[in-house]
């Protein structure tokens, strides 16, 4: 079994991503914070971790970009998971009774239209989607609810009051599988894709055209970049590290030449991982999309 750290409680979307990436070998282990999750792999308590990195509605999970740079770990796989959010409450609670809803801030950002349409419900942040369901069940109040996946309702014996409350049913989160470099070869990733992706982080001097010239190292060789993200450098105001997702393998000669070119231009370049890409997204026609916003009076 592969001990896979994830942030949250049982029933979290990250747990589902761990099982999708690792199959029957997965032994998902919950952690309260992203920091604890990364630390557990860095010191060897866990074999790997599952990190949500971006969502199609809420954008990047910036905390995990920072943790990827500060820890000497490597990305060994990725997957995309369709995310269907639900309003969940203790059994017997009606929608009209709900006065406060809890969830992870990224999940709340994916459900802004539903929350704006129901201004009578106060919004409160929690450390996890599934954890918010666990909390309201333990609290036992008739005026509290949570936003999470259906599996969390099943795990904690709660009831779904409204299905498909995300802003758009084409809602996906991309998860990274991360391990120590020395453990990477021993962890089997269950992906059918043969295409590769490489993720790097680099820094360039803060001057005119510096980023343009850095990206030209890839453009000149017709290398496709699927994502770019910037994060501030601590102690250097208005200067940034840049993360790139490159479609291709570090074994490809064109990518090797591009990285060598980039090293000539940049202050630093680090390959965070070279791994098999997730399968292309199919239409996220989950059951929730057919009953979007259905409520019990």
Question: Is 175 labeled as catalytic in the residue annotation?
Answer: yes
Can you give the three-state secondary structure of the chain, one letter per residue? CEEEEEECCCCCHHHHHHHHHHHHHEEEEEECCHHHHHHHHHCCCCCEEEEEEEECCCEECHHHHHHHHHCCCEEEEEEEEECCCEEEECCCCCHHHCCEEEECHHHHHCCHHHHHHCCCCEEEECCCHHHHHHHHHHHCCCCEEEEECHHHHHHHCCEEEEECCCCCCCCEEEEEEEECHHHHHHCCCCCCCCCEEEEEEEECCCCCCHHHHHHHHHHCCCCCEEEEEEEECCCCCCCEEEEEEEECCCCCHHHHHHHHHHHHHCCEEEEEEEEECCCCCCCCCCHHHHHCCCECC
Would residue 33 show up in a list of annotated catalytic residues for this protein?
A: no
Q: Are 172 and 281 in contact (CB under 8 A)?
A: yes
Q: Which of 56, 74, 173, 198 is catalytic?
A: 173
Q: Which of 175, 191, 199, 218 is catalytic?
A: 175
Q: Tell me the C-alpha distance between 128 and 43, whole Å.
A: 24
Rounded CA separation 79/57 (Å): 17
Strand duo 100-103 + 122-125: pairing:
parallel
Tokens, residue 105: 């801030």
82 CB neighbour count, 10 Å cutoff = 20
Residues known to be catalytic: 173, 175
């Amino acid at each position: 079994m592969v001990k896979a750290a994830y942030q949250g409680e049982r029933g979290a979307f990250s747990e589902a991503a761990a099982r999708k990436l690792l199959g029957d070998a997965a032994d998902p282990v919950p952690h309260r914070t992203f920091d604890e999750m990364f630390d557990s792999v860095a010191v060897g308590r866990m074999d790997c971790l599952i990190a949500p990195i971006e969502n199609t509605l809420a954008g990047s999970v910036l905390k995990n970009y920072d943790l990827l740079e500060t820890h000497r770990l490597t990305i060994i796989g990725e997957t995309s998971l369709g995310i269907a959010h639900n309003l969940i409450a203790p059994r017997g609670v009606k929608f009209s009774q709900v006065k406060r809803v809890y969830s992870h801030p990224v999940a709340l950002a994916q459900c802004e239209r539903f929350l704006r349409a129901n201004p009578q419900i106060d919004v409160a942040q929690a450390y996890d989607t599934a954890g918010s369901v666990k909390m309201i069940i333990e609290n036992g109040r008739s005026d509290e609810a949570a936003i999470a996946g259906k599996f969390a309702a099943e795990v904690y014996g709660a009831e779904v009051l409204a299905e498909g409350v995300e802003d758009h049913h084409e809602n996906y989160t991309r998860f990274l599988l991360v391990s120590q470099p020395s453990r990477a070869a021993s962890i089997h990733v269950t992906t059918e894709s043969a295409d590769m992706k490489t993720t790097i982080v680099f820094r360039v001097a803060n001057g005119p055209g510096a980023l343009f010239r850095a990206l030209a190292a890839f453009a000149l060789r017709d290398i496709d970049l699927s994502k770019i993200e910037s994060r501030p450098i601590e102690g250097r105001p208005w200067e940034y590290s840049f993360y790139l997702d490159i479609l291709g393998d570090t074994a490809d000669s064109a990518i090797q030449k591009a990285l060598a070119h980039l090293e000539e231009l940049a202050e630093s370049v680090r390959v965070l991982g070279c791994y098999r890409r997730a399968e292309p997204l199919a239409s996220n026609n989950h059951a929730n999309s057919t009953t979007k916003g259905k409520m019990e009076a």
